[in-house]
Structure 1
């Protein structure tokens, strides 16, 4: 251990990085129930040296130090070193962040996120130590755009952590994100990131356990206001706004609250069937697919009566105001586009097919059935799977209703869908062969 201690304090950055990696190796290979590695680290004050490497070292040293500290947090003994029962000013993360440079502070914040993602125990200690408050403080500092953007990137990662939503929603971070979304003077990239983080935080099915409806409605309202102001000024921000609404609508409770805000829901539906804004349309199609339940279980696809009526009305209104006149015409126009749009179209049908009114729409349009049952239409794995899921969902919806199965006009459609399902998603029997060059022995003179 003495040579590692010397290495962590070396002038050479390469030596310091190697020493940090050695610590990680020790923790990965020596750590067991005896806690040998963590005991050595505690006895030699290695954790303090790792923190110094984190804030003072170059990029490679900082990464290696972060990995070592994260590995240290993987055991109960290691967590006790990082979060001691008796605070130590030298290793206090809050005090360390206060006295180091902006770069060092950014690294400390990144470390907090890594520690938070390690385990539920570590997440609880990070929250109880008020380390998430450091992230809040940096978001307040909107004058430093780069630093704020860095913190938003960390929050985006934090929102993906297993316990991220639970603890982040206990802080004021969501309110700060709403403020950024509504701030017309903020950089567009900051607003876009704030929308995406908000959407990710509010995307879980059990969201109402951690936040009340008013909080979700506030986010939806802020995004809706921003979309209304943007129109077509900033395509990237517009797409992020649509995607965020789709994230919120991916849960059944979120979808109900989103559809209760008719203006926000209308933005998504209108953009989904607008053939003029390509990137915007693709983002809206995927968002609408989330809202109608493509990602939800069979039991959660349908929403309450008010939300379902709003959804149906918005889709029919959009269709009636377009040259296609009816929803099946809009869907068919999407399925005739390139692969990435067809995939979004398949997702939309998968979710909407649980609604009888939509099932009648697509099953009465033989062109749609021909496309979704065509085993050769897609060449990518994601495309094949999306088409297959679409067939399966449509068939299940038909088969679950005796009314539809008894209709002679629809019985043939059900058989065609079942036949496509039996072939499976990949490499259907009889798949057309690509042209292959023939290799033959060259003629000799």
Structure 2
């Protein structure tokens, strides 16, 4: 047997079904597996048998024999020999939906903890293959993986990263197994910097896959990475890796925006989508990504009369993107914003942005409040300042609105226009001098339109 196995293993070229069948007719599998148990008695017998079986199992005939070999494979996983354990893992990896392979799946998972790196690698390949089947996904990563050593957990996480790239179903199964929480545990491991670095490396690979980034963004991982970056006491290598992972996650936001752009058609989804895009637009980078070209949906929703709720959500989203609470955007985004609003005006009966703003301000209180927010965000731009100040009806409304709803919003809008005008080149323009005085007077009066200090009808001495 030793001589025949050595000759078969060293034969040049891949074996054929005929040669594999001829060898196994001479030495059946039970004989070979029995010899493996006592291979230590014959020098080099184990390595010859393992090499021989690996070649046999790569033939079609050998693969057909794998199902009946599963009991031997399960026994092989418990062998004292790393070569035999590795052979067992490799054999199991070739079976995808075989019932017997599924039964011994937990034993394969346990082999991820093997002290021999080759056995652990073979076990990882077996897990990835078994995860391609629906039944394998049901059993993915039992609790024993959660309670293993740091090295084993890193190996499990590395396999999980590979599973994210297999299919959407595999990615969802890994996510719902709560396996991603193991990343957080490793990042919290203050006593083992090497384990934390290994976790960051695996996390970096996960963030590179579309499914991985998608699911990571639903967790608190980005906030955890941000805290790591901002903590000066954290090791510089870990901080730099956290920066790279965060960059990969944020770059995937662009794909999310493209998905929004391609699917903003259903009115039932549009209102929710507008709210979500408004949240993203609150930060400058998010607004810049939105403005080319997804923001056109928001501008259309705001000014094209698609319904009350759609218009309200659109106006608030556009206000967030315009920068009600932050500084201006980059030049490209600013140009896109200006062009979108002027294009909307040209395609409407209002013919100008000031006409669009005034149409919003004439509507019900909730939409009028959203319009105030929008003007606050836009008016720092010279083109919008000119549009607003040249529309006398807008100035009259923000300086002397008679309704009580939203007086604070109205006053904030008035203050924003006044501040923008005083900081602009228009402040010395005679055309806007009256407007400037009117705005400043309204700012001094405050949000509740106090006309003048009240005086008692009877002086204090005459009352007594």
Q: TM-score, normalised by structure 1?
A: 0.49
State which structure, 1 or 2, has the greater radius of gyration over its C-alpha atoms. Answer: 2
